[in-house]
Structures are given as C-alpha cells and as structure tokens.
Structure 1
Amino acid sequence: MDRAADAMDTADPEALAVPGGAKQAEPRGGLLLIARARDNLRFRSAWGELNGAMGDLGTYIPIVLSLALSRHLDLGTTLIFTGIYNAVTGLIYGVPMPVQPMKSIAAAALADPSFDIPEIMAAGIITAAFVLFLGLTRLMKLVYWFVPLPVVRGIQLAQGLNFAMAAVKYIRYDQDLAKSKSLGQRPWAGLDGLILAIAAVCFITLVNGAGKEPPRRAQQEAHQQQETSWRRRLASSVPSAGIVFLLGVAFAVARHPSAVRELRAGPSRMRVVHISREAWKQGFIKGAVPQIPLSVLNSVVAVCKLTRDLFPEREEASPTSVSVTMGAMNLVGCWFGAMPCCHGAGGLAGQYRFGGRSGGCVAALGGLKLALGLVLGGSMLRVLVQFPVGLLGALLLFAGVELAAAARDMSTRAEAFVMLVCTAVSLVGSSAALGFLCGMIAHGLLMLRAFTGEHLKSICT
C-alpha cells in the first residue's frame, strides 16, 4: 500500500489517460511551455520541498554574511538577485538546482583587504563570461564528456569533505565571520553553544537518518532493505532543516532584541558598480583565475553528473544549459553589486538530502530571498549577524556528507585510486584545478599501463 501511495504521489496527473480510455492530447506551443513550467515547479511533497530549500543555507549564509561585514557587500541587492536566480533555475530545470556564492572569489576577498567590491564584481563577470562562452560554443559539453567519472567523484569527495570539515569548525569554535577566522572553543551552554549545535545534529539524524538512496541505487538495493512506512512518513512530515533554521532566527532575535527595532522597510538602493582598469586586472588575477576551474569542474561538470545520478529522468540540466544560466545571471547581477554566484554540487546534494525533489524547492527559497530583499533590504544584516553559527555548521555538515557520499559508486581499485589521488591533492593543495590535473594524469597513466599490458600479452601469445 505504501509503495502504491508513493507511486500515486509522484505520478504526473497530466500523463494519465482521461476517462473512457482516451489518451489526453499533448499540449503544444505555449501550452506545452506552461505545462512544463507547472510540472517543474510542482511540489512533490510540501514539507519535503520546503525543508530541502534550507539545505544549502549552511554555505550561503556564512559567505554572504562574511562579505557583507568585511567588504560591505550589499545584502539587500544580493538577496534580490539570488532570489530571482533561484526562481528562474527552478523553473528551467525542475530539480533543486542551487545558487551559491563563488567560493574562490569570496576566499580571495576575505584574505586580501585590497580586494574590494569592484574587484569582486570584476572577477564574477570575467568568470561568468568565460563559462558562458564555453556553453554557447558547446565546448562545455566536450569538457563534460572528456572528464572521466573517477576524477569528477574525486572533486565531489574533496568538496564534500571541505564542507564537512568547515561544518565541524563552525560547531566546535566561535567564528569571526568578518575576518573568516576561528576563535576560541565554543562554550557548551548559551544560545550559540556547543550543546545546541550537537542537539541540532542529533535531531536531523534522528528524523532523516542516513538520507535516501539515489533512484538507481535504491532500485538495486530494494531487495536487500525496505524502509518502514513510519520512517518515510517521519522524514517527509517533519521539516528538520526548516525547524533548525527557524530556531536559529528566533535565537538571533533573542541574542540581540534591539536588532528588530533597527530593521528598515524597503529595498536597498541599487547602483551600477564602477570597475576601474586596475580592478579588472586584480579581479582577473586574484579572483577569476582560481575560480574558473572550480566553476567548470564543480559548478557545471560535477553538478550535471550529480543531477543525472539523483534525477535520471530529467534531461534539462545539460552542461550547455547550466553554463548558460550560470553565465547569464552573473553578467546581469554583478554590475549592480550582487555577489557572484554559481550552481554547485554541494548545494544540490544538501537540498536533496533534506527532501528537495523539484524546482519548486529552490523557487520557494528564491521567493523568500526576494521578499526579504524587497521588504527589509540590507537591514536584515542586523538580525542575521546574530544567527547561531553552530546551527549553520549543523546544516553544512549534512550537505557535505551527502556530497561526499556520491563517491561511493567507484567499483574498481583503479577508479578508487584515481578518485583518491584527485581528492588528496585537492584537499592538501586547496585547489580543485590541481586535483583535477593530478587525477587526469593518474587516469591516463593507468589507461596507458592497461593498454601496454594488453599489447604485450597479445605479442607473447
């Protein structure tokens, strides 16, 4: 009965036959676009989609807050543009395609006081233009098919472990987000204490367990293990991530009650950012150069492969389309001071982990961001700066574990070897590009070894 109910929930009503056995006529033209948009935004499970929308906030909030505090990034403008990005990507792809800050550019800005808003925006525009070029010329599709799966899994594993380690750091230590530094040990008690963060981790684990298997693997293991109906109902009816986030907002207000009185109605005033020639130069050297490999590998190649793993029936998230949407959104928003953004495999894994299954998941998140940006603008910073960082660490931990878990499908020692070489170099060198290069070399050497071995064997026989 449970399986039948699940099937009825996930079935598309428009694909069913009309009464009398006659097949419903397929919509065409504008009606087809409307039907597709409606299907892409349709919630598969109301609580699940809303819960999944919180899945990548553990990455989004710390980076945006850090730049707003240290580099005076306009929070209101960033909320408005990223809200629009979320809604558009949900409408186009029909999966919880994330919108996350470009991490290498953010890292450069936090590490270098001279790397200010003009340099950040220049780096975002240059990166977006390069990725858009690869998408429009279809070269990104060639990159996607050229990169072997073990290398992609190595990048995903490294990124997932990075998220998980950052999450543990957020949980264990007090954080100075403005300087992106860890301070002393986090106190056990308090509204941002260690007990609160540990309780959040335990609560999410109790509700969601180890997470759901991707469709293909779930079919393979269906004969080995069946989840009981009460566990499925618990995971889909209790929005664990949403509860943790709302609890964090309540504690933020409790920690600084006067922040509510400091809120101001209305959006931030948007201005076109003036980018000097020197800002273009520094943005390219310090921001775009390290960001481009990460955007190509993690924000396009890895996110497309992960989408195929999690949603094998969806074909919208192609390397070409993901490149185009990522490039186009930054070529608009960055000119007005919105944080450069990309799609990311970690955000997708986090949103899937907490129940996101459709474009409605990220569209709902986009609507929330857009509303906050229009109604409260940059004054939201006064409240969010008090958000318990330990709770953000709890959300980020599960997103990192979910992304790293995608690497468990390596079936041979050779594949695992390439993946781990890529992961180790990426983690130690803090560079996805260096890890990619070493992974490709290891993969090529193993292929050469296998070829020469077979060739010698044929000569000897």
Structure 2
Amino acid sequence: MAYSVMSERHSDLEFSMSELTGALGDSVTVLPLLVALAVTTSVSIPHVLIGFGVFQIVWGLYYGMPMSIEPMKALIGLAIVGTLSYPELAAAGLLAGVVLLVVGRFGLVGRLERAVGEPVIRGVQLAVALLLLEAAIGLSVENVSVAAGGLAIVAVLALVGYRHSSVLVVLGLGAAAAVATVGMPTPRVPEAAIFPAGVPSMSPAALEGTVAQLGMTIGNAAIATALLCGDLYDRNVSADSLSTSMGVTCLAAVPFGAIPMCHGSGGLAGKFAFGARTAGANVLLGIGYLALALVATGALLTAFPMALLGVLLVVVALELGQAAFAPITDGRSLAVVASVGVVGLAVNVGVAFVLGAVAFWALSRRT
C-alpha cells in the first residue's frame, strides 16, 4: 500500500515499498565509507548518521525528488588512509562548504556547465560508475561466498519481477548477521555538542584535499547530478542550486559532528535503480539513519558483511553507466565519454573533468 501527498515542488511524496527499497539504494554508496571511518578515525558515527538523516529529509523535501546525500569521497578517503585527522577533515569540509556556497550563489557552476559540453559530463558519470564497480569488486572479493549468495538473491528476485526488493532483502540479511555477531547495542541518544570529535584544524594537507574534492564535487555532485536529474526524473535542477545546497549542508552539519556531505550521481542512480521516484524515499531513509544513530557503534558497523554491499553496488554502477551512454550517438562524443571515464577511474574524477573539458574545447575549435 502506498500513501502520498503533494509537495510544493510538483512531486508526489509517496511512502511505499518501492520508495523504501529505493531509499536503501542510496545507502549502499554510504555504508562502506562509514564502516572504514569508524575503524580508522575518531569520528562519532552517531553524529555522522544524524547529519545524513537530517539532510536526506531536508533536501528531499526541498527538491521534491529522491535527491542523493553522500560523503565527500576525496576528503573521506584521505581521512581513512590517515592523511587527514578528523579536525583536519572538519576544517576541509567547512572550507569546501564556503566555496560551494559562493560559486553556487553567483551562478558560476552553471556558466562552467554551459562551457564544458555534455560528453564531458557524461564521462564524469561513467567515471563514477566505474569507481563504484571497482569498489564493488573490492568489497566482494573479501568474502566471495557471501558475495555469490547475495548475487544469487538479486538475480532470483530480478527474474521473478522483484529486483527493487533485492536491496531490502540483502541489507536485512546483512543487518541480521551483524546483530548476531556483536549483539544489539542499547539505544542511546547522542550528546548534542559543537565539534564533538575535535575542533577544526586547517593544514596544508587539508587545503590540498579540499582542492581535490572541489574538482570532484563540481564535476560529479553538481553538474553530472543536475544532468542525471533530468535523465532519470525529468526534473530541471540547476548545478548552481546543487552547489548551494551542498555548501549549506557542510556549513550546517560539520560543526555538529557530521562529515562533509554532497549530492552525487552514484546515490541518485542507486535510488532510481531500486525504485525511488519521490521525496518519500528521502524521508524514509532519513528516519532510518536517525534511528540507526541510536544504536550504531563501530563494532556493529564493522560486523556487517561488506561483500553484500558489493553486490548492490554493481546494480547501481550498471544503472549509472547506462545513463552515461544512453543519449550519446556520435563517435567523437562516445570517445570523449569513454576517455573521461577511464581517466577518472585511473587518476581522479576532478582531473578527468578538467582534462575532458580542455579536450572537448579543442575538438570543438577544429570543427
């Protein structure tokens, strides 16, 4: 049964099984990073989950669609490998928030989007799809038998017409395995505090990480995600609006213990792949994150079988990869898409975006 109301942004707000499964499709791009953060840093996982929960709801209702909320992967990756401490991560997130808010409010991202060319943006989508596929393989090889079982579940449910439900079944099994391993923690309300895991501290490493992150964020989380909103949901969402909302998110969330967050084409494709069509998915996922914040511990998260998430990431990667290639028909544009995707996988999404833009401009000048 589905319940729906009308939001102010001409989109049904529906609460149904497909919205629930679609919501969980976004979480598979988030949970692996949260597990790694819990193991390697001093971050407060309950505060991080509250940040995700609040802003899933806020931006879902604001945009009136299943808008994605993801970690800023370049900065989070640097924190996981030990290059950034949590105070440095917080400082980088605040700096990124200021920059994104300013460029969004002055319309600079939209100007860049018009100059870059659609094949480059599609290439960024492909790069993210390839990175998700790489992550999926990495997670799956940690426990091949578990991954094979998860793949079998997804395949069987898809064959009988319940592909969207596979995410609910797979995540449910993983959660049950985690609870069976470490037990159910006692619910506890996280303490409200300013910078509960450490006061921000700017450093050369944090500044370099911010620059790398902004390249990825502008290319993927703003421009590529804006394009994907039209592809998947027939919605006209500007890249400048997305940049502004990401800036607001970082500036509002990081001081209360959350991590730097952004939108992203991977999470958006994940929601669509598993059935989300309205902002109801964001409300459901936001409530889920807030509930998980009451019981989440590092031990509980690390007990979750990551190989199961790898299986679901494959589905998300295929959805995003299909969206990247679907509108492209001429050979030159296909070459640009493929080249940007490969460079993004091999080097960095931000670097691929810049190089692709320069190459596309040079090719356009020759015609």
What residue number does 2:290 align with? 370
Q: Secondary structure at the match of 1:41?
A: strand
Aligned equivalent of 2:259:
339
Identify the residue that residue 252 of structure 1 maps to in structure 2. Answer: 178
Deviations 1:282-333 (A, max 9, x none): 4642321110011111001000000101111x33x22232122111111011
For the pair 1:162 / 2:89, whether they are aligned, the reply is no
Within the alignment, does 1:400 sit opposite 2:304 as a pair?
no
The one-letter code matched in structure 2 to 1:81 is G
C-alpha deviation, 1:13, in angstroms: 9.6
Tell me how far apart the structure 2 counterparts of residues 248 and 35 of structure 1 sit (CA, whole Å): 34
Gaps of 5+ in 1: 1-8, 15-33, 174-185, 187-193, 210-230, 451-461
Amino acid of the structure 1 residue aligned with 2:136: A
Q: Match of 2:162, SS?
A: helix
CA distance in 2, matches of 1:74, 1:111: 17
Q: d(CA) in 2 for partners of 1:298 and 1:120?
A: 20
Counterpart-to-counterpart distance in 2, 1:363 and 1:146: 35
In 1, Cα distance between the equivalents of 2:299 and 2:121?
39
Q: Take 2:4 and 2:177, find their aligned partners in 1: how far apart are those partners? A: 42
Instruction: Indicate the residue corresponding to 2:231 in structure 1.
Output: 309
* TM-score of the superposed pair, with normalisation by structure 1: 0.74
Which of 132, 153, 168 matches 1:242? Answer: 168
The letter of the residue matching 1:446 is L
Q: Deviations over 1:333-378 (max 9, x none)?
A: 11122111110100000110010111111210001111222x33xx
Tell me which residue corresponds to 2:366. 449
Shift in Å at residue 419 of structure 1?
1.3
8 Å CA contact 2:101, 2:248 repeated in 1 = yes
Aligned pairs for 1:93-132 within 5 A: 93-112=63-82, 115-132=84-101
Instruction: Decide whether aligned partners of structure 1 residues 394 and 144 sit closer, same or farther in structure 2, where only a CA change above 3 A counts.
Output: same
Aligned to 1:19: none
Distance 1:196 1:112, change over 3 A: closer
- 1:141 alignment partner, SS class: helix
CA–CA distance in 1 between the matches of 2:148 and 2:203?
44
**Contact 1:57-1:392 at 8 Å conserved across structures:** no
Q: Deviation of residue 40 (structure 1)?
A: 4.3
Question: What is the CA–CA distance in structure 2 between the aligned matches of 1:407 and 1:65, rounded to whole Å?
Answer: 29
Change (3 A) 1:350 1:53: same
Inter-CA distance 70–13: structure 2 relative to 1 (3 Å threshold): closer
On the 8 A contact 1:56/1:347 being kept in 2, the answer is: yes
What stretches of structure 2 of length at least 5 have no aligned partner? none
Instruction: List per-residue Cα deviations over 1:405-451 (Å, max 9, x = no partner).
Output: 1122210011011112212222222x11221222122212221222x
CA gap of 1:165–1:13, structure 2 versus 1, over 3 A, is closer
Superposition deviation, residue 37 in structure 1? 6.3
Q: Which residue of 2 aligns with 1:141?
A: 110
Following TM superposition, by how much is the alpha carbon of 1:39 offset from its aligned partner in structure 2, in angstroms? 4.3
SS in 2 for 1:272: coil
* Superposition map of 1:78-227 within 5 A: 78-112=48-82, 115-173=84-142, 186=143, 194-208=144-158
2:24/2:271 contact within 8 Å kept: yes
Distance 2:127 2:175 in 1: 31
Q: Deviations over 1:214-260 (max 9, x none)?
A: xxxxxxxxxxxxxxxxx6xx337x6110111011011112233xx32
Instruction: Tell me if the contact between 1:170 and 1:392 (Cα under 8 Å) persists in the aligned partners.
Output: yes
CA contact (8 A) 1:101 1:341 kept: yes
| Residue identity matched to 2:230 | R
Q: CA deviation at 1:86?
A: 0.3
Max radius of gyration: which structure?
A: 1
Q: How does 1:57-68 map to 2 (within 5 A)?
A: 57-68=27-38
State the SS of the aligned residue for 1:235.
Answer: coil
Tell me: CA distance 1:334–1:13, structure 2 relative to 1, closer, same or farther (3 Å). Answer: closer
SS at match of 1:347: helix
Residue 270 of structure 1 aligns to a residue in which SS?
Answer: coil
Separation of aligned partners in 2, 1:65 and 1:48: 26
CA shift for structure 1 position 63: 0.6
For 2:176 and 2:218, locate their aligned partners in 1 and report how far apart those are by CA, in whole Å.
Answer: 38
Which residue identity lines up with residue 448 of structure 1 in the other structure?
A: R
Helix, strand or coil for the counterpart of 2:24?
coil
In structure 2, what residue type is equivalent to 1:444?
Answer: W
% identical equivalent positions: 30
| Structure 1 position 267 matched with structure 2 position 184 | no
Q: CA deviation at 1:54?
A: 1.1
Aligned to 1:28: none
Q: CA RMSD in A?
A: 2.3
